[in-house]
Amino acid sequence: MAGNGIKSSRYEFDDTDRKILELLKANGRATNQKIARLLKISAATVSARIRQMEDAKAMKVVAATDFAAFGYNILIAIGVEVQGRPAEDVAKELARLPQILSINLVTGAKDIEILLAVQQFSELSDFLLNDIAAIKGVRSLSPAIAVDIVKFDFDIAPLS
């Protein structure tokens, strides 16, 4: 961080950026030439705008891969209760486990919400008896096993 405080020069989207973004949401691999043609601007402008938006971490074009591509057939949303330790410390340790895809510290009856992905149920014994057992402060786990994913939008995310 620079010494002049946290005055991060936040990138401001203009109309052209918004139009490019919309096209990229529909097809992240639309070529600069194609986008340029559709918006009646130059390909160089498209290229520069995409780079500016990505550099500012305002947006990112991704190759989003389905869980199943990695054989993750089982998804479990687990509510974690913490006891005798700051929940944030527990969450930081949980974050090191590769099977845990997302972690949120939350308000309410549970302290942490995690999304766990495994290839098969047999992996759960190692996860519970070794990985989780080694983390101090985990009082209980309340699972909800995914049986059908009705909706899963992923075009908004933290980018830092």
Residues in region 90-109 near other proteins by CB under 8 A: 91-92, 94-95, 100-109
**Reduced to 3 states, what is the DSSP secondary structure of residue 115?**
strand
* Shortest distance, position 138 Cβ to other proteins, whole Å: 15
Phi, psi for residue 2 in degrees, rounded to 5? -70, 160
Q: CA 125, CA 58: separation in Å to the nearest integer?
A: 40
- Minimum CB distance to other proteins, residue 1 (Å): 16
CB closer to other proteins out of 28 and 129: 28
Q: Which CB, 13 or 127, lies closer to other proteins?
A: 13
- Distance (Å, whole) CA 125 – CA 41: 57
Q: How many CB atoms lie within 10 A of CB 154?
A: 7
Q: Residues binding other proteins: what is the number (CB under 8 A)? A: 72
The least CB distance from residue 130 to other proteins, in Å, is 20
Measured from the CB atom, the residue of 15 and 66 that comes closer to other proteins is 66
Q: With contact defined as beta carbons under 8 Å apart, do 53 and 59 qualify?
A: yes
Residues in 104-143 that interact with other proteins by CB under 8 A: 104-110, 113, 117, 142-143
Q: Which helix (H) or strand (E) holds 92?
A: helix 87-95
Distances in whole angstroms, Cα of residue 132 to Cα of each of 85, 94, 139: 15, 8, 10
Q: Which is nearer to other proteins, 15 or 152 (CB)?
A: 152
Site string for other proteins, 36-65 (x = CB under 8 A): --------------x------xxxxxxxxx
- Which residue from 3, 5, 84, 158 is in contact with other proteins, where contact means CB under 8 A? 158
Check if the beta carbon of residue 91 is closer than 8 Å to that of residue 106: no
